[in-house]
Amino acid sequence: MLLRVERLQHSYCKAEILKNIDLGVERGEVFIIIGPTGSGKTTLLRLIGLLEKPTSGDIHFDGNRVSDSEEQRLAVRRRMAMVSQKPTVFNASVYDNVAYGLRIRKEKGASLHGKVMNALETVGLAGYDKRNARTLSGGETQRVALARAMVIQPELLLLDEPTANLDPVSTSHIEKLVTDVIKKSEMTVLMSTHDMYQGQRLADRMGVIMAGEMLQTGDPRDVFNLPQNRKLAEFVGVENIISGAVVSNKEGIVDIKVDGAVVEALSSLSAGAAVYACIRPEEITLAKTREPSSARNTFSGEITRVVLFGPLARIELNCGFPLVALITRKSAEEMNLQTENRLYASFKATGVHVIAK
Amino acid sequence: MHEIADAFVIAIKMIFTGDPEVYAITARTLEISISSTLIGALLFIPLGCLIYFNNFWGKRTLISIIQTCYSLPTVFVGLLVFLAFSRAGPLGFFGIMFTPQVMVIGQVVLIAPIITGLTISALSGVSPAIRETAVSLGATRFQAVWLVLKEARYAVLTAILVGFGRAISEVGLAIMVGGNIRGFTRVLTTAMALETQMGNIELSMALGIILIVLALIITVLANKFVKGKEADAAQSRAPTA
């Protein structure tokens, strides 16, 4: 394990920013910390990047505990590099910016030149070497910052919301760098983002941080589909979170009573448990008539709102309880869906994720 | 008005015909002011860094005091240096009263607050993110401070230039501790004061023009130097084989 964080706690004045964080990052993986703005992502990365000292808790790098000794902190810091959300470039040429980390490591001559030119090529800024870095656009600046960090071949690359302030084209450019280049060079990446979908696209593993607490870590698919509590479910984009209670459990299939209807789902919880039934909107199919199907849950409802966006349509229904379905725009148009239409909404018992209250 | 214009014309002639006394005074002036500015820069830019990059009790008060000392009267500094270096003073054993050396020391004292204070302002103009970025890329404390200083180079240069301007233009200190000794401690400002009193308006005017032109030339050169460094840095990409 390259990085291990144990019981990390940090406060500014009296405000507790991070609470008891445990985290492990394996060599060579892309680990993404995901969480809403203000959840403590930046603070966590700054502590791991040894830019600040935690109030309490330990950071282990490559098997060694990082102590308070400035000498040791510098030695560890030299094995990592950090790119911040709002990258700062030095008032110098793009070339000198990228060369900085190498120069302070006493690298010079042809080897320095080769590495810098190579890094500029990699981030797509070949030919920009003479430009003053202060004259670049936001996306270009972020790429200079990435090149400047990557060129020193850090064992651990820390990226703090590298795409938070960028347009979609620049964002996909940066994402491509992370997936193609950094993975190939076997760097370990610890990145933060508030964008759940970006986390999905890039992460080998992810951790969700909310209000200073690491609530869930694991495979992105698990985090996405099996959130452990209501807050997480909301954050990962589960729009249908229906409150109810288990009325029966027959061999792992539960009936959950919600606002006058019964939802079938898979769960180990027994009768009487108060739960939330979570259904991702894309798991729901809509039909004009009630047709026989394998889906265990079918409800009749009235359309309250239709929102078209891009290739998708978001349909809000009232089935006694509110339900949101996500279908393609084409389907919505072919079925001629309008508000006040009555419809049947179906989803499988396996499409329901049950969270105990 | 006529008189001033005539004086001006004669002054220009004097400068271009190469009056040896005018040139000697000019050389001595530059020698003293440049020495004191360089010594001041070497001592007080680092002091400014030390104050800016460390947190200690009374830091803000100290900075306020330094800023107040920007306008320290030159005659007051002259008096202090005089008391210190006169034969009976604590530093009298150096025996350098009424020499160019003591004038340099006096000017260094005079410009110390300006260079220190303006260095602190120059550094506060650089975003703290610059230093942090350097540290995150593995810079040592010294390397990070050096980078911030480089980012602030124009403002630091201004600090040096303002210091030089004060050193070359002051007259009280130069008379009090230098003594305006002809061919030894006589500088442009003290010579002007003397010649004006003696009625040699043309000579005085010539000295004044030289003083202003010198200040202009040095400012232009210093700006060129900083800009040139920048161009060099951009072109030094090619590896030196």
CATH number at residue B219: 1.10.3720.10
Same domain, A131 and A280: no
Task: State chain B's mean pLDDT as an integer.
Answer: 89
Q: Is the pLDDT of residue B241 over 50?
A: no
Q: B241 lies in a domain?
A: no
Has residue B199 been placed in a domain? yes
Give domain status of residue B190, yes or no: yes
Question: Within an 8 Å CB–CB cutoff, is residue A42 touching chain B?
Answer: no
Distance CA A247, CA A258 (A): 10
Q: Do B151 and A100 touch (CB under 8 A)?
A: no
Distance (Å, whole) CA A270 – CA A159: 44
Contact A78 B230 (CB under 8 A): no
User: Which among A100, A108, A112 has the least Cβ separation from residue B137?
Assistant: A100
Q: Choose the closest CB to A88 out of B127, B237, B238.
A: B127
- Pick A101's closest partner by Cβ from B138, B237, B238: B138
User: Which residues, including other chains, have CB under 8 Å from residue B101's CB and lie 6 or more apart?
Assistant: none
Q: What pLDDT does residue B201 have? A: 85
Rounded CA-CA distance B135/B144 in Å is 6
Whether residue B139 and residue A104 make contact (CB cut-off 8 A), yes or no, is yes
Q: Do A84 and B136 touch (CB under 8 A)?
A: yes
Shared domain check, A90 and A7: yes
**What distances in angstroms separate CA A125 from CA A45, A98, A131, one per listed residue?**
27, 11, 10
Residue position matching structure tokens 């002054």? B11
- Is B238 part of a structural domain of the chain? no
Q: Is A167 in the same domain as A208?
A: yes
Q: pLDDT digit string (tens) for B15-69?
A: 888 788 888 999 999 999 999 999 999 999 999 999 999 999 999 999 999 999 9
A49 to chain B nearest CA, in Å? Answer: 7
Q: Which long-range contacts (CB under 8 A, 24 or more apart) does B222-229 make?
A: B222/B157, B222/B160, B222/B161, B223/B157, B226/B153, B226/B154, B226/B157, B229/B153
Question: Do A207 and A316 reside in the same domain of the chain?
Answer: no
CB–CB contact B237 A130 (8 Å) = yes
- Please check whether residues A183 and A136 belong to one and the same domain: yes
**Considering the domain boundaries, does residue B240 fall inside one?**
no
A338 in contact with B, Cβ within 8 Å: no
Is the pLDDT at B236 greater than 80? The verdict is no
The reply to whether A230 and A85 lie within a common domain is yes
Residues of B in contact with A90 (CB under 8 A): 130, 133, 147, 150-151
Instruction: Give the domain-ending residue among A215, A234, A253.
Output: A234
With cut-offs at 50, 70 and 90, classify the pLDDT of residue B238: very low
Q: How many CB atoms lie within 10 A of CB A86?
A: 14
Tokens for A287, please give them. Answer: 């039909």
Considering its fold, how many domains does chain B have in total? 1
Residues A113 and A90 in one domain: yes
Instruction: Name the pTM for this structure.
Output: 0.83
Q: Residue B233: which pLDDT band, with cuts at 50, 70 and 90?
A: low
Q: Which domain holds residue B209?
A: 2-226
pLDDT means per 10 residues in chain A (357 residues)? Answer: 94 90 94 92 95 94 93 95 92 95 93 95 92 92 94 94 89 88 85 90 93 92 87 87 91 88 90 91 90 89 91 91 92 88 91 90
Continuous H helices in chain A: 41-48, 70-77, 94-103, 109-122, 138-150, 168-176, 183-184, 196-202, 220-225, 230-235, 329-334
Dig out the tokens for A334 from the structure.
């072919």
Residue B30, both tokens? 């530059």
- Which CA distances in Å does B6 have to B9, B86, B147, B196? 5, 42, 52, 15
In A, which residues are within 8 Å of B229 by CB distance? none
Q: Any residues with CB less than 8 A from the CB of A307 and at least 6 apart, and which?
A: A313, A314, A316
Q: How far is A298 from chain B (nearest CA, A)?
A: 56
Is the pLDDT confidence value at B7 over 60?
A: yes
| Helices (runs of H) and strands (runs of E) counted in chain B | 11, 0
Spatial neighbors of A31 by CB under 8 A, at least 6 apart, are A23, A25, A188, A189, A190, A191, A203, A204, A205, A206, A207
Give how far A160 is from chain B: nearest CA, Å. 12
DSSP string, B163-218: HHHHHHH--HHIIIII---TTTT--HHHHHHHHHHTT-HHHHHHHHHHHHHHHHHH
**Does residue A212 share a domain with residue A327?**
no
* HEC readout, A293-342: CCCCEEEEEEEEEEEEECCEEEEEEECCCEEEEEEEHHHHHHCCCCCCCE
User: Token pair for residue A240?
Assistant: 């249908």
The count of CB pairs under 8 A between chains A and B is 76
Q: Is residue B234 a part of any domain in this protein?
A: no
Min Cα distance B96 → chain A (Å) is: 45
Domain termination site, one of A188, A206, A234: A234
How is A173-216 classified by DSSP, letter by letter? HHHHIIIIIIHHTT-EEEEEES-HHHHHHH-SEEEEEETTEEEE
Residue B52 lies in a domain: yes
A138 and A54 within one domain: yes
Would you call A134 an interface residue with chain B, using a CB distance cutoff of 8 Å?
Answer: no
- pLDDT at position A39 is 92
In the beta sheet, which residues pair with residue A343?
A301
Q: Is A208 found in the same domain as A97?
A: yes
Residues A48, A163: one domain?
A: yes
Domain boundary among A205, A234, A263: A234
- pLDDT band of B239, cuts 50, 70, 90: very low
Q: Which residue of A has its CA nearest to B146?
A: A104
Query: Residue B1 has what pLDDT?
Result: 62
| A3-12/A15-25 β-pairing | antiparallel
Contacts of A101 in chain B (CB under 8 A): 137-138
Cβ pair A303, A291 in contact under 8 A: no
Tell me which chain A residues have a C-beta less than 8 angstroms from the C-beta of B235. Answer: 130
Which residue type is seen at A40? G
Instruction: Grade residue B9 by pLDDT with cuts at 50, 70 and 90.
Output: confident
Distances (CA, A) of B40 to A86, A120, B73, B154, B165: 37, 41, 18, 17, 13
Range of the domain at A55: 3-234
**How large is the ipTM?**
0.81
Q: What is the distance between the alpha carbons of residues B46 and B36, in angstroms, rounded to a whole number?
A: 16
CATH, residue A108: 3.40.50.300
Residues of A in contact with B132 (CB under 8 A): 51, 84, 88
Separation of alpha carbons A30 and A92, rounded Å:
31
Computed over its alpha carbons, how large is the radius of gyration of chain A? 25
Residue B231 lies in a domain: no
Work out the angle at residue B140's Cα, subtended by the Cα atoms of residues B145 and A42, and round it to the nearest 5 degrees: 90
Q: Do B115 and B51 touch, CB atoms closer than 8 A?
A: no
The structural domain count of chain A equals: 2
Task: Go through A204-215 and write b for each residue having 16 or more CB atoms within 10 A of its CB, e for each that does not.
Answer: bbbbbbbebbbb
Say which residue the tokens 């990435």 belong to: A146
The pLDDT value recorded for residue B53 is: 94
The verdict on A152 and A243 lying in the same domain is: no
Q: Do B136 and A88 touch (CB under 8 A)?
A: no
The predicted pLDDT at position A323 comes to: 92
